[in-house]
Amino acid sequence: MKLVEGQPASGADEIIARVKRRLANEPEVDPTRLSALIREEAVVLSDVDVLAIMRRLRDDTTGAGPLEPLLADSNVTDICVNGPFEVYADAGRGLERTPVTFGSDADVRRLATRFAASCGRRLDDAQPFCDGHLARDNGTLLRFHAILSPAAHAGTCLSLRVLRNTTVTLDELCERGAMDTERADALRRVVQRRRAFLVLGGTGAGKTTLLSAMLAEVDPVERIVVIEDTLELTPRHPHVVNLTSRGPNAEGAGQITLTDLLRQSLRMRPDRIVVGEIRGAEVVDLLAALNTGHDGGAGTLHANSIHEVPARMEALAALGGLDRLSLHSQLAAAVDVVAVVTRRPDGSRVLQQLGVVEGNPVTARVVWDADAGELEGYREVFGV
């Protein structure tokens, strides 16, 4: 495989290595000087080859190296690197192996270490795994996780999630075939009546997309405070305040948790409080907030069906020190409606179920299913 047009891969790598050594002695290099250095090292090189090498130097120093072509594809949502010679990407059809490779495990490790350093994390033999998120020049965010060998037997492993601003509406989801207009109207009524709701689904099922579309239906005079680990929710609404958590730095200080942000949000005069993904002890503070006058709140939860909600919430509440009896009392009063999204084998994302949580202890009940249609209680719940 040729990495640079007209130049064997090994030859291009040698040129890049020599240029990098010379750049180390020059504190600042403009494109003209960089082009001259490349021509000095290669002697005979076309303009196309010079531009290709400049692009690779940029990718290797500030970008994602060999992964840049994959990140440039707007359909790619996930990239998984299993050592230097196995790179998988998900462009809507599940993870598929790509022709992209690294020169060695050291190259993968350098990229992972640079990602970690860019967000103030440590990644070395003493701390062989880390995660974080990075902002890219094109407005997307990368959520990454890295683990070094020998803990990872295949070599250094990188997992990247590409987060693009989600700004669709319910009407646009209908046009995509994610739901019919009747279901879209039912979800609008949930928002307009200030009923608290959860969006459920598996990884990559479209939870954030649906939540963003529903938040776009909130009255423009209301103030929405959104709390997330990484900035994903950007609904088409004029008054959204985004708060994001932060992990500890290399010295172990400076951490800001979702629980911290939830407590701060209560002092920010919110009309609605939204948690991008409920995954830990913050569920205790969220339920408390929803039960103290902040109607119409929302969040997403990683689960595959409505019936999993009570057990999932029990497990998360236990992390915050809330016992089962208290959790069910809080949940029964706080959450009204649950929507489940799923990703089908062909890659399409659809609204699969609508339901309610009721009773104490709480039980979950499906009132509409994409396959079975309307079930008992659907019209009463959604006011059809």
Secondary structure of 314-379 in HEC code, one letter for each residue = HHHHHHCCCCHHHHHHHHHHHCCEEEEEEECCCCCEEEEEEEEEECCCCEEEEEEECCCEECCCHH
Query: What distance in Å separates the CA atoms of residue 111 and residue 126, rounded to the nearest whole number?
Result: 18
Of 239 and 5, more confident: 239
- pLDDT, tens digit (0-9, with 9 covering 90-100), for 120-151: 788 888 889 988 888 777 777 888 899 998 88
Q: Residue 93: which residues within 8 A CB-CB, separation 6 or more?
A: 346, 347
pLDDT of residue 9: 46
List the chain domain ranges.
1-61, 63-163, 170-382
> 279-308 burial, b if ≥16 CB within 10 A, otherwise e?
bebbbbbbbbbbbeebebbbbbbebebbbb
**Which option is the CATH number for 63-163: 1.10.760.10, 3.30.70.1450, 2.60.40.420, 3.30.450.370?**
3.30.450.370
- Report the amino acid identity of residue 163: L
Mean pLDDT of the chain: 83
Check: CB of residue 166 under 8 Å from CB of residue 232: yes
Average pLDDT over residues 244-251: 77
Check: CB of residue 364 under 8 Å from CB of residue 356: yes
pLDDT of residue 130: 87
pLDDT at residue 80 greater than cutoff 90: yes
| Burial class of residue 367 in the structure, from the number of CB atoms within 10 Å of its CB (0-12 exposed, 13-18 middle, 19+ buried) | buried
Count Cβ atoms below 10 Å from residue 204 Cβ, excluding itself.
16
Query: What distance in Å separates the CA atoms of residue 259 and residue 289, rounded to the nearest whole number?
Result: 12
Quick one: what percent of the chain has pLDDT higher than 70? 82
pLDDT of residue 289: 82
Contacts 24+ apart (CB under 8 A), 293-297: 294/266, 294/270, 295/194, 295/195, 295/196, 296/191, 296/194, 296/195, 296/196, 296/218, 296/271, 296/272, 297/196, 297/272, 297/273, 297/334
Nearest Cα to 206, choosing from 237, 233, 181?
Answer: 233
- Tokens representing 213 are 């579309």
Band of residue 228 on the pLDDT scale cut at 50, 70, 90 = confident
Average pLDDT over residues 242-248: 84
pTM comes to 0.76
According to the per-residue pLDDT averaged within each range, which of 51-60, 176-185, 342-351 is highest? 176-185
Query: What distance in Å separates the CA atoms of residue 65 and residue 57, rounded to the nearest whole number?
Result: 8
Q: CATH for 170-382?
A: 3.40.50.300
Domains 63-163 and 170-382 share a fold: no
pLDDT of residue 20: 62
Average pLDDT over residues 200-209: 87
pLDDT of residue 243: 92
pLDDT of residue 44: 55
- Grouping H, G, I as helix, E, B as strand and the rest as coil, residue 144 is strand
351 phi/psi in degrees, rounded to 5? -75, 120
pLDDT of residue 33: 63
pLDDT of residue 10: 47
Query: What distance in Å separates the CA atoms of residue 26 and residue 269, rounded to the nearest whole number?
Result: 52
pLDDT at residue 293 greater than cutoff 80: no
Check: CB of residue 231 under 8 Å from CB of residue 247: no
Check: CB of residue 224 under 8 Å from CB of residue 211: no
Quick one: what percent of the chain has pLDDT higher than 90? 30
Phi-psi label, residue 270: left if phi above 0, alpha if psi -120 to 50, beta otherwise? beta
